[in-house]
Amino acid sequence: MPTPPNSSPAGLAGLLALALLEPAAPLWLLHASGISLTGGRIAHGVGLSMGTLNAGRMVGTLLSWIAYLLIGGGLLYAGLSGRL
Q: Within a domain: residue 60? A: yes
Residue 36 located in a structural domain = yes
Is residue 20 one of the residues assigned to a domain?
yes
Among 48, 50, 70, residue whose Cα is nearest residue 60: 48
Q: What separation in angstroms does the CA of 70 have from each of 3, 18, 45, 47?
A: 25, 10, 21, 23
Is pLDDT at 1 greater than 60 in this prediction?
no
> Does residue 31 sit within a domain?
yes
Domain that holds residue 43: 11-80
Q: Is the pLDDT of residue 3 over 60?
A: no
Q: Is residue 5 part of a domain?
A: no
pLDDT over threshold 90, residue 21:
no
- The DSSP string of 24-37 is TS-HHHHHHHHHHH
pLDDT, tens digit, for every residue of 30-68?
A: 999 999 999 999 998 899 888 878 898 899 999 999 999
pTM, two decimal places: 0.86
| Overall domain count for the chain | 1
Question: What's the confidence (pLDDT) of residue 84?
Answer: 67
